[in-house]
A and B are shown apart, each in its own frame.
Chain A
Protein backbone atom coordinates (compact mmCIF):
# COMPACT_ATOMS: atom_id res chain seq x y z
CA UNK A 1 0.00 0.00 0.00
CA UNK A 2 1.44 3.27 -1.02
CA UNK A 3 0.37 6.61 0.37
CA UNK A 4 -0.52 9.29 -2.12
CA UNK A 5 -2.60 11.92 -0.31
CA UNK A 6 -4.66 14.08 -2.63
CA UNK A 7 -4.64 17.82 -2.01
CA UNK A 8 -7.75 19.63 -3.15
CA UNK A 9 -6.82 22.96 -4.68
CA UNK A 10 -8.19 26.14 -3.11
CA UNK A 11 -8.57 29.00 -5.53
CA UNK A 12 -6.64 32.05 -4.32
CA UNK A 13 -9.04 34.36 -6.15
CA UNK A 14 -12.51 32.85 -5.79
CA UNK A 15 -12.42 30.85 -2.54
CA UNK A 16 -14.86 33.21 -0.85
CA UNK A 17 -17.62 32.17 -3.25
CA UNK A 18 -17.66 28.79 -1.51
CA UNK A 19 -20.33 29.74 1.02
CA UNK A 20 -22.46 32.57 2.35
CA UNK A 21 -20.36 32.97 5.46
CA UNK A 22 -17.26 33.78 3.42
CA UNK A 23 -19.19 36.18 1.22
CA UNK A 24 -20.34 38.20 4.21
CA UNK A 25 -16.76 38.21 5.43
CA UNK A 26 -15.58 39.57 2.09
CA UNK A 27 -18.25 42.27 2.11
CA UNK A 28 -16.92 43.27 5.51
CA UNK A 29 -13.34 43.31 4.27
CA UNK A 30 -14.47 45.54 1.41
CA UNK A 31 -14.78 48.39 3.89
CA UNK A 32 -11.01 48.66 3.47
CA UNK A 33 -11.65 50.38 0.12
CA UNK A 34 -13.65 53.02 1.95
CA UNK A 35 -10.90 53.34 4.55
CA UNK A 36 -8.49 53.88 1.68
CA UNK A 37 -10.78 56.50 0.18
CA UNK A 38 -11.03 58.41 3.47
CA UNK A 39 -7.29 58.25 3.99
CA UNK A 40 -6.84 59.78 0.57
CA UNK A 41 -9.51 62.38 1.29
CA UNK A 42 -7.83 63.39 4.56
CA UNK A 43 -4.45 63.78 2.88
CA UNK A 44 -6.08 65.81 0.12
CA UNK A 45 -7.84 68.00 2.70
CA UNK A 46 -4.53 68.59 4.50
CA UNK A 47 -2.90 69.51 1.20
CA UNK A 48 -5.60 72.08 0.46
CA UNK A 49 -5.10 73.51 3.94
CA UNK A 50 -1.34 73.63 3.39
CA UNK A 51 -1.88 75.63 0.22
CA UNK A 52 -2.78 78.52 2.56
CA UNK A 53 -5.45 79.69 0.21
CA UNK A 54 -8.97 80.16 1.61
CA UNK A 55 -10.27 79.83 -1.93
CA UNK A 56 -8.83 76.36 -2.44
CA UNK A 57 -10.06 75.28 0.98
CA UNK A 58 -13.56 76.60 0.37
CA UNK A 59 -13.86 74.93 -2.99
CA UNK A 60 -12.79 71.69 -1.32
CA UNK A 61 -15.52 72.18 1.28
CA UNK A 62 -18.20 72.86 -1.30
CA UNK A 63 -17.07 69.87 -3.38
CA UNK A 64 -17.94 67.76 -0.34
CA UNK A 65 -21.46 69.14 -0.34
CA UNK A 66 -22.43 68.02 -3.80
CA UNK A 67 -25.28 65.51 -3.98
CA UNK A 68 -22.93 62.78 -5.19
CA UNK A 69 -20.52 63.30 -2.33
CA UNK A 70 -23.26 63.39 0.28
CA UNK A 71 -24.67 60.18 -1.14
CA UNK A 72 -21.21 58.60 -0.98
CA UNK A 73 -20.64 59.69 2.62
CA UNK A 74 -24.08 58.41 3.55
CA UNK A 75 -23.41 55.09 1.85
CA UNK A 76 -20.04 54.79 3.60
CA UNK A 77 -21.63 55.53 6.96
CA UNK A 78 -24.30 52.86 6.52
CA UNK A 79 -21.79 50.35 5.16
CA UNK A 80 -19.54 50.84 8.18
CA UNK A 81 -22.43 50.67 10.62
CA UNK A 82 -23.78 47.40 9.25
CA UNK A 83 -20.54 45.61 8.42
CA UNK A 84 -18.26 46.91 11.17
CA UNK A 85 -19.82 48.77 14.08
CA UNK A 86 -22.89 46.66 14.80
CA UNK A 87 -21.27 43.25 14.31
CA UNK A 88 -18.12 44.16 16.23
CA UNK A 89 -19.98 45.65 19.16
CA UNK A 90 -22.10 42.54 19.25
CA UNK A 91 -18.96 40.38 19.39
CA UNK A 92 -17.16 42.56 21.94
CA UNK A 93 -18.31 40.51 24.97
CA UNK A 94 -16.63 37.46 23.41
CA UNK A 95 -13.35 39.22 22.80
CA UNK A 96 -13.28 40.83 26.24
CA UNK A 97 -15.35 38.86 28.71
CA UNK A 98 -15.48 40.27 32.22
CA UNK A 99 -15.61 37.73 34.99
CA UNK A 100 -16.97 38.66 38.39
CA UNK A 101 -16.42 35.89 40.88
CA UNK A 102 -17.61 32.69 39.24
CA UNK A 103 -19.89 34.33 36.71
CA UNK A 104 -19.20 36.25 33.55
CA UNK A 105 -20.83 39.65 33.37
CA UNK A 106 -23.81 39.53 30.97
CA UNK A 107 -22.57 40.56 27.54
CA UNK A 108 -25.19 43.25 27.15
CA UNK A 109 -23.37 45.53 29.64
CA UNK A 110 -20.21 45.37 27.57
CA UNK A 111 -22.16 46.07 24.40
CA UNK A 112 -23.91 49.06 25.99
CA UNK A 113 -20.54 50.27 27.29
CA UNK A 114 -19.24 50.32 23.73
CA UNK A 115 -22.19 52.32 22.47
CA UNK A 116 -21.75 54.83 25.29
CA UNK A 117 -18.05 55.32 24.51
CA UNK A 118 -18.95 55.68 20.85
CA UNK A 119 -21.59 58.32 21.61
CA UNK A 120 -19.22 60.28 23.87
CA UNK A 121 -16.42 60.22 21.28
CA UNK A 122 -18.82 61.25 18.51
CA UNK A 123 -20.13 64.11 20.65
CA UNK A 124 -16.55 65.24 21.28
CA UNK A 125 -15.80 65.26 17.55
CA UNK A 126 -19.03 67.15 16.79
CA UNK A 127 -18.00 69.63 19.47
CA UNK A 128 -14.55 70.01 17.93
CA UNK A 129 -16.17 70.55 14.56
CA UNK A 130 -18.42 73.18 16.05
CA UNK A 131 -21.62 71.35 15.20
CA UNK A 132 -22.76 71.30 18.83
Chain B
Protein backbone atom coordinates (compact mmCIF):
# COMPACT_ATOMS: atom_id res chain seq x y z
CA UNK B 1 0.00 0.00 0.00
CA UNK B 2 1.17 3.50 -0.76
CA UNK B 3 2.28 5.67 2.09
CA UNK B 4 1.70 9.40 1.88
CA UNK B 5 3.36 11.81 4.23
CA UNK B 6 0.86 14.24 5.72
CA UNK B 7 1.72 17.28 7.80
CA UNK B 8 -0.82 17.38 10.61
CA UNK B 9 -1.16 20.71 12.31
CA UNK B 10 -2.97 20.00 15.55
CA UNK B 11 -4.31 22.50 18.03
CA UNK B 12 -3.02 21.84 21.52
CA UNK B 13 -4.18 23.23 24.82
CA UNK B 14 -3.20 22.07 28.26
CA UNK B 15 -5.32 23.85 30.87
CA UNK B 16 -2.60 23.38 33.46
CA UNK B 17 0.21 24.85 31.43
CA UNK B 18 -0.99 26.88 28.45
CA UNK B 19 -2.39 30.38 28.51
CA UNK B 20 -3.86 29.89 25.05
CA UNK B 21 -4.04 27.14 22.42
CA UNK B 22 -1.15 26.67 19.98
CA UNK B 23 -0.38 24.44 17.02
CA UNK B 24 1.86 21.43 16.99
CA UNK B 25 3.12 19.82 13.78
CA UNK B 26 3.27 16.08 13.29
CA UNK B 27 4.53 14.36 10.20
CA UNK B 28 2.37 11.28 9.72
CA UNK B 29 2.99 8.49 7.20
CA UNK B 30 -0.60 7.80 6.13
CA UNK B 31 -1.88 4.75 4.32
CA UNK B 32 -4.08 5.62 1.40
CA UNK B 33 -7.29 4.36 3.00
CA UNK B 34 -6.82 6.26 6.22
CA UNK B 35 -9.25 8.72 7.71
CA UNK B 36 -7.98 11.68 9.75
CA UNK B 37 -8.92 9.71 12.86
CA UNK B 38 -6.40 7.03 11.86
CA UNK B 39 -3.76 9.72 11.52
CA UNK B 40 -4.60 11.02 14.99
CA UNK B 41 -4.41 7.49 16.37
CA UNK B 42 -0.99 7.14 14.77
CA UNK B 43 0.15 10.30 16.51
CA UNK B 44 -1.17 9.04 19.83
CA UNK B 45 0.34 5.55 19.44
CA UNK B 46 3.68 6.39 17.85
CA UNK B 47 4.56 10.05 18.29
CA UNK B 48 2.93 11.75 21.23
CA UNK B 49 0.88 9.99 23.91
CA UNK B 50 -0.23 13.27 25.48
CA UNK B 51 -2.62 14.21 22.66
CA UNK B 52 -6.25 14.21 23.86
CA UNK B 53 -9.26 13.72 21.57
CA UNK B 54 -12.55 11.84 21.58
CA UNK B 55 -13.61 8.93 19.45
CA UNK B 56 -15.24 5.59 19.86
CA UNK B 57 -16.85 3.77 16.94
CA UNK B 58 -14.75 4.72 13.90
CA UNK B 59 -17.88 4.24 11.78
CA UNK B 60 -20.01 7.40 11.96
CA UNK B 61 -22.28 6.10 14.67
CA UNK B 62 -21.16 7.39 18.05
CA UNK B 63 -20.83 11.04 17.06
CA UNK B 64 -17.86 11.72 19.33
CA UNK B 65 -15.09 12.45 16.81
CA UNK B 66 -16.33 15.77 15.39
CA UNK B 67 -13.52 18.30 14.85
CA UNK B 68 -12.56 21.13 12.54
CA UNK B 69 -10.63 19.72 9.60
CA UNK B 70 -9.12 22.52 7.55
CA UNK B 71 -11.76 24.80 9.02
CA UNK B 72 -14.73 22.57 8.24
CA UNK B 73 -16.66 20.80 11.04
CA UNK B 74 -16.45 17.11 10.17
CA UNK B 75 -16.34 13.63 11.65
CA UNK B 76 -12.68 12.65 11.62
CA UNK B 77 -13.64 9.03 11.00
CA UNK B 78 -15.52 10.04 7.85
CA UNK B 79 -12.96 12.44 6.40
CA UNK B 80 -10.35 10.65 4.36
CA UNK B 81 -6.74 11.60 3.87
CA UNK B 82 -7.01 10.94 0.12
CA UNK B 83 -9.51 13.79 -0.20
CA UNK B 84 -7.24 16.28 1.56
CA UNK B 85 -4.09 18.22 0.70
CA UNK B 86 -0.70 17.33 2.20
CA UNK B 87 -1.14 19.82 5.00
CA UNK B 88 -4.12 19.27 7.27
CA UNK B 89 -5.12 21.46 10.17
CA UNK B 90 -7.11 19.80 12.97
CA UNK B 91 -8.82 21.93 15.60
CA UNK B 92 -11.45 21.29 18.26
CA UNK B 93 -15.04 22.02 17.20
CA UNK B 94 -15.57 25.73 16.75
CA UNK B 95 -17.97 27.64 19.05
CA UNK B 96 -17.28 25.36 22.03
CA UNK B 97 -14.89 25.94 24.94
CA UNK B 98 -11.77 23.76 24.74
CA UNK B 99 -11.38 21.34 27.62
CA UNK B 100 -8.00 20.06 26.47
CA UNK B 101 -6.39 19.69 23.03
CA UNK B 102 -9.15 18.52 20.68
CA UNK B 103 -11.71 17.84 23.40
CA UNK B 104 -14.48 20.40 23.82
CA UNK B 105 -16.96 21.13 26.61
CA UNK B 106 -20.44 20.05 25.54
CA UNK B 107 -22.40 20.84 28.72
CA UNK B 108 -24.32 23.68 27.06
CA UNK B 109 -25.70 21.66 24.16
CA UNK B 110 -26.46 18.70 26.39
CA UNK B 111 -28.62 20.96 28.49
CA UNK B 112 -30.27 22.33 25.34
CA UNK B 113 -31.07 18.89 24.01
CA UNK B 114 -32.70 18.12 27.32
CA UNK B 115 -34.60 21.39 27.37
CA UNK B 116 -36.72 20.65 24.28
CA UNK B 117 -38.32 17.61 25.94
CA UNK B 118 -37.00 15.06 23.46
CA UNK B 119 -39.41 12.28 24.38
CA UNK B 120 -43.00 11.42 23.68
CA UNK B 121 -45.33 13.53 25.79
CA UNK B 122 -48.87 12.21 26.26
CA UNK B 123 -51.93 14.16 27.39
CA UNK B 124 -54.41 11.34 26.78
CA UNK B 125 -54.22 8.11 28.69
CA UNK B 126 -51.39 5.84 27.64
CA UNK B 127 -52.31 2.66 25.79
CA UNK B 128 -53.32 -0.30 27.86
CA UNK B 129 -50.77 -2.52 29.48
CA UNK B 130 -50.35 -5.01 26.64
CA UNK B 131 -50.99 -2.54 23.81
CA UNK B 132 -48.66 -0.20 21.98
CA UNK B 133 -49.01 3.05 20.08
CA UNK B 134 -49.48 2.29 16.45
CA UNK B 135 -48.01 4.42 13.73
CA UNK B 136 -48.41 4.15 9.99
CA UNK B 137 -45.39 4.09 7.71
CA UNK B 138 -46.50 7.39 6.23
CA UNK B 139 -46.56 8.96 9.70
CA UNK B 140 -43.08 7.60 10.37
CA UNK B 141 -41.72 9.02 7.12
CA UNK B 142 -42.60 12.52 8.29
CA UNK B 143 -39.74 12.53 10.78
CA UNK B 144 -37.57 9.50 10.06
CA UNK B 145 -34.67 11.51 8.63
CA UNK B 146 -34.56 13.62 11.78
CA UNK B 147 -33.95 10.53 13.92
CA UNK B 148 -30.61 9.99 12.17
CA UNK B 149 -28.86 12.62 14.29
CA UNK B 150 -25.86 11.26 16.20
CA UNK B 151 -25.27 14.40 18.30
CA UNK B 152 -21.87 15.04 16.80
CA UNK B 153 -22.48 18.79 17.17
CA UNK B 154 -20.80 19.62 13.88
CA UNK B 155 -23.86 21.75 13.14
CA UNK B 156 -23.25 23.92 16.20
CA UNK B 157 -19.66 24.40 15.13
CA UNK B 158 -20.89 25.57 11.72
CA UNK B 159 -23.67 27.83 12.97
CA UNK B 160 -22.61 31.51 13.15
CA UNK B 161 -25.74 32.32 15.08
CA UNK B 162 -24.76 29.98 17.90
CA UNK B 163 -21.23 31.35 17.77
CA UNK B 164 -22.50 34.87 18.29
CA UNK B 165 -25.19 34.10 20.84
CA UNK B 166 -24.89 31.09 23.10
CA UNK B 167 -28.52 31.44 24.20
CA UNK B 168 -29.68 30.27 20.78
CA UNK B 169 -31.01 26.74 21.17
CA UNK B 170 -29.30 25.77 17.93
CA UNK B 171 -29.70 23.33 15.04
CA UNK B 172 -29.55 19.78 16.49
CA UNK B 173 -31.76 20.53 19.51
CA UNK B 174 -34.35 22.31 17.34
CA UNK B 175 -34.30 19.46 14.82
CA UNK B 176 -34.82 17.07 17.71
CA UNK B 177 -37.77 19.08 18.98
CA UNK B 178 -39.25 19.03 15.49
CA UNK B 179 -38.77 15.27 15.34
CA UNK B 180 -41.05 14.87 18.37
CA UNK B 181 -43.50 17.53 17.21
CA UNK B 182 -43.96 15.57 14.00
CA UNK B 183 -44.40 12.25 15.74
CA UNK B 184 -48.03 11.14 15.52
CA UNK B 185 -47.81 9.58 19.01
CA UNK B 186 -46.66 12.78 20.65
CA UNK B 187 -48.91 15.42 22.23
CA UNK B 188 -46.25 17.73 23.63
CA UNK B 189 -46.06 20.28 20.84
CA UNK B 190 -47.68 23.08 22.81
CA UNK B 191 -45.34 22.44 25.75
CA UNK B 192 -42.36 22.78 23.47
CA UNK B 193 -43.73 25.88 21.79
CA UNK B 194 -42.81 28.14 24.73
CA UNK B 195 -39.13 27.35 24.29
CA UNK B 196 -39.13 27.14 20.52
CA UNK B 197 -41.13 30.26 19.74
CA UNK B 198 -39.05 32.29 22.18
CA UNK B 199 -36.56 34.65 20.58
CA UNK B 200 -33.76 32.24 21.42
CA UNK B 201 -35.68 29.55 19.57
CA UNK B 202 -36.37 29.19 15.87
CA UNK B 203 -36.49 32.90 15.08
CA UNK B 204 -32.87 33.34 16.03
CA UNK B 205 -31.92 31.19 13.05
CA UNK B 206 -31.26 33.21 9.93
CA UNK B 207 -31.25 30.18 7.65
CA UNK B 208 -27.57 30.40 6.82
CA UNK B 209 -27.96 26.71 6.10
CA UNK B 210 -24.40 25.95 7.21
CA UNK B 211 -25.65 23.36 9.70
CA UNK B 212 -27.28 21.26 6.99
CA UNK B 213 -24.27 21.49 4.72
CA UNK B 214 -21.91 20.03 7.30
CA UNK B 215 -24.25 17.46 8.85
CA UNK B 216 -22.66 14.03 8.23
CA UNK B 217 -26.02 12.31 8.61
CA UNK B 218 -28.06 14.53 6.27
CA UNK B 219 -30.45 15.42 9.05
CA UNK B 220 -31.02 18.88 7.53
CA UNK B 221 -31.65 20.87 10.71
CA UNK B 222 -32.01 24.10 8.71
CA UNK B 223 -35.05 22.71 6.90
CA UNK B 224 -36.54 21.49 10.18
CA UNK B 225 -36.16 24.96 11.68
CA UNK B 226 -37.84 26.64 8.70
CA UNK B 227 -40.73 24.19 8.95
CA UNK B 228 -41.06 25.09 12.62
CA UNK B 229 -41.14 28.78 11.75
CA UNK B 230 -44.02 28.20 9.35
CA UNK B 231 -45.71 26.05 11.99
CA UNK B 232 -45.22 28.70 14.64
CA UNK B 233 -46.53 31.48 12.42
CA UNK B 234 -49.65 29.44 11.55
CA UNK B 235 -50.31 28.78 15.24
CA UNK B 236 -49.91 32.46 16.00
CA UNK B 237 -52.49 33.50 13.40
CA UNK B 238 -54.86 30.72 14.36
CA UNK B 239 -54.82 32.01 17.93
CA UNK B 240 -55.20 35.63 16.77
CA UNK B 241 -58.18 34.72 14.65
CA UNK B 242 -59.69 32.66 17.43
CA UNK B 243 -59.49 29.46 15.47
CA UNK B 244 -58.96 26.18 17.31
CA UNK B 245 -55.23 25.59 17.70
CA UNK B 246 -53.31 22.38 17.48
CA UNK B 247 -54.89 19.61 19.51
CA UNK B 248 -51.76 18.95 21.54
Would you call A21 and B210 a contact (CB within 8 A)?
A: yes
Q: Which residues of B contact A102 (CB under 8 A)?
A: 137-138, 141
**Closest CB of chain A to B107's CB: distance in Å?**
9
- Contact residue among B13, B20, B71 (Cβ-Cβ distance under 8 Å from A19): B71
A3 and B103 CA atoms in complex are apart in Å by 12
Closest to A101 in B: B138
**Closest CB of chain A to B81's CB: distance in Å?**
21
Looking at B27-35, B93-101, B127-135, B189-197, the stretch in contact with chain A turns out to be: B93-101
Looking at A9-17, A33-41, A49-57, A118-126, the stretch in contact with chain B turns out to be: A9-17
18 contacts between A and B (CB under 8 A): A5-B98, A5-B99, A7-B97, A8-B98, A10-B95, A10-B164, A16-B160, A18-B71, A19-B71, A19-B72, A21-B208, A21-B209, A29-B206, A91-B226, A97-B223, A97-B227, A99-B138, A102-B141
- Contact residue among B15, B208, B227 (Cβ-Cβ distance under 8 Å from A4): B15
- For window 158-195 of chain B, which residues contact chain A by CB distance below 8 Å? 158, 160, 163-164
- Contact residue among A15, A21, A29, A95 (Cβ-Cβ distance under 8 Å from B163): A15
Would you call A6 and B71 a contact (CB within 8 A)?
A: no
Closest to A3 in B: B15
**Interface bits B95-134 vs A (CB < 8 Å: 1, else 0):** 1011100000100000000000000000000000000000
Would you call B21 and A6 a contact (CB within 8 A)?
A: yes
A36 and B15 CA atoms in complex are apart in Å by 48
Count B interface residues, CB 8 Å.
35
Closest to A1 in B: B16
Closest to A10 in B: B163
**Closest CB of chain B to A24's CB: distance in Å?**
9
**Interface bits B1-30 vs A (CB < 8 Å: 1, else 0):** 000000000000101101011000000000
**Interface bits A110-121 vs B (CB < 8 Å: 1, else 0):** 000000000000
B222: CB under 8 A from chain A? yes
- Contact residue among A18, A19, A22, A94 (Cβ-Cβ distance under 8 Å from B223): A94
A21 and B142 CA atoms in complex are apart in Å by 29
Closest to A16 in B: B160
A75: CB under 8 A from chain B? no
A62: CB under 8 A from chain B? no
A86: CB under 8 A from chain B? no
A4 and B18 CA atoms in complex are apart in Å by 10
A10 and B157 CA atoms in complex are apart in Å by 12
A82: CB under 8 A from chain B? no
A115 and B160 CA atoms in complex are apart in Å by 31
Q: Which residues of A contact B208 (CB under 8 A)?
A: 21-22, 25
- Contact residue among B13, B21, B230 (Cβ-Cβ distance under 8 Å from A95): B230
Q: Which residues of A contact B164 (CB under 8 A)?
A: 10, 12, 15
A66: CB under 8 A from chain B? no
A127 and B230 CA atoms in complex are apart in Å by 31
**Closest CB of chain B to A127's CB: distance in Å?**
29
Would you call A94 and B220 a contact (CB within 8 A)?
A: yes
Would you call A22 and B227 a contact (CB within 8 A)?
A: no
A67: CB under 8 A from chain B? no
Q: Which residues of A contact B213 (CB under 8 A)?
A: 21
Indicate whether A8 sits within 8 Å of B94 (C-beta atoms), given known contacts A1-B16, A94-B220, A94-B222.
yes
